[in-house]
């Protein structure tokens, strides 16, 4: 099953694959090559989310999508926190190509205030946290509304993480299995 490349013009999104840079919680690149890929079913739902966001004047910015199992192990070995990372022994929805980490931006690319940065491993990152500003709460609800209307499930601890329902029904993919050469 080939993964679908997510990039303009086919997908009108902004791409900022953080794990291909040092701008992530590990402080170093995890991926050797920045790629944004999804399972075909997830890619279809992303197209719906893009249309829903654009209809109300917003754009999606993607921080991560498919994540090879090798990368999941690197993240876990750095920070084995089951509140924010899937244990690679069980497998991550990212490593199945059915999860995406993203935010909402204005059409000119300015990120909306979500109360924390992407990958802030703190209770402030939880969807329902009332300690972030009212503006951030509103923006999180707006993102959640777009994504859930498009058919995505959310993870309660991370305002940025969305995945397909029944994500464990999809196969885990290593870098070699997916042929991505990300690692």
Q: What is the pLDDT of residue 124?
A: 98
Helix (H) / strand (E) containing 100: strand 99-106
Choose, from 28, 54, 131, 158, the residue flagged as catalytic: 158
Helix (H) / strand (E) containing 53: helix 40-55
* Predicted TM-score (pTM) above 0.85: yes
Q: What is the largest CA-CA distance in the chain?
A: 44
Query: For residue range 94-147, what is the model confidence (pLDDT) as tens digits?
Result: 999 999 999 999 999 999 999 999 999 999 999 999 999 999 999 999 999 999
158 is catalytic: yes
SS3 state at 78: helix
Distance (Å, rounded) from C-alpha 10 to C-alpha 19? Answer: 23
CATH match of 4-178 with 3.40.50.300: no
């Amino acid at each position: 099953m080939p993964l679908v490349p997510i990039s303009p013009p086919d997908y009108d999104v902004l791409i900022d694959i953080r794990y291909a840079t040092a701008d992530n919680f590990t402080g170093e690149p995890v991926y050797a090559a920045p790629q944004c890929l999804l399972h075909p079913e997830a890619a279809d739902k992303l197209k719906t989310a893009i249309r829903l966001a654009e209809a109300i004047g917003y754009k999606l910015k993607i921080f991560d999508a498919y994540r090879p199992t090798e990368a999941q192990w690197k993240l876990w070995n750095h920070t084995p926190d089951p509140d924010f990372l899937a244990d690679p022994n069980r497998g991550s929805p990212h490593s199945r190509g059915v999860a995406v980490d993203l935010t909402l931006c204005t059409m000119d690319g300015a990120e909306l205030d979500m109360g924390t940065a992407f990958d802030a491993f703190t209770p402030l990152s939880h969807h329902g946290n009332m300690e972030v500003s009212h503006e951030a709460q509103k923006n999180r609800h707006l993102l959640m509304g777009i994504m859930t209307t498009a058919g995505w499930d959310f993870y309660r601890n991370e305002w940025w993480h969305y995945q397909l329902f029944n994500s464990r029904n999809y196969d885990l993919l290593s870098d070699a299995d997916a042929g991505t050469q990300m690692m």
